[in-house]
Amino acid sequence: MNKDLNDLRESLDNIDNAFIFLLAERFRVTQKIGLYKSEQGLPAVDEARERVQFAQIERLARDRGLNPEFASKMLRLIIDEVVENHEAMSGAEG
Amino acid sequence: MNKDLNDLRESLDNIDNAFIFLLAERFRVTQKIGLYKSEQGLPAVDEARERVQFAQIERLARDRGLNPEFASKMLRLIIDEVVENHEAMSGAEG
């Protein structure tokens, strides 16, 4: 295996590890949000807020030269996982 | 809107912005890998390497208390986008 390719792959592995740590932190925050919403009797999903999140991520993706549709799919996957976690915690529908 | 909720959402927005910057850097690295592979006549997709990547991300996700299946889906989405970008650059099949 070539040294250059191994070197680049090591960077990828570092970045992917950083993703996992960032995701772990993100789920800590959404757990707090879920708890807060449940205490306040707020609905788990806030569609207006979601629209803002998607608009933000798409704009930022575009600014950084990424495909905004791809960024949007990533956020959807993350939010769906958050909702699934909340449902698993509360036993409630989304 | 409550101050606590706004505060937590600000953390989420910061984390999501960090995701985008990390993704932008990741695509810089995969572009270099794509270029290197193309110069060396190596195939775009290396299934053995992919298996290692998925095993690594799932193990790390598990270590951080994340759903490994979710982490795996994220990586799949990212790799598919990489392959799509390479195809768009080279006009070649994956």
Residue B8 is predicted with a pLDDT of 96
What residues of B are in contact with residue A7 (Cβ under 8 Å)?
none
Q: How far apart are CA B26 and CA B12, in angstroms?
A: 21
Measured distance CA(A19)–CA(A51) in Å, rounded: 23
For chain B positions 13-72, those within 8 Å of chain A (CB to CB) are: 13, 15-27, 29-30, 32-33, 36-37, 40, 49, 53, 56-57, 60-61, 64-67, 70-71
Q: What share of chain B is helix, strand, coil (3-state, %, to 5)?
A: 85, 0, 15
Cα dihedral B86, B90, B91, B92, rounded to 10, equals -80
Cross-chain residue pair A8–B61, CB shorter than 8 Å: no
Which parts of chain B register pLDDT below 50?
Answer: 91-94
Write out chain B residues lying below 8 Å of A48, CB-based. none
Is A75 in contact with A57 (CB distance < 8 Å)?
yes
ipTM: 0.88
| pLDDT, tens digit (0-9, with 9 covering 90-100), for A23-75 | 999 999 999 999 999 999 999 889 999 999 999 999 999 999 999 999 999 99
Q: What is the pTM of this model?
A: 0.87
Contact B36 A4 (CB under 8 A): yes
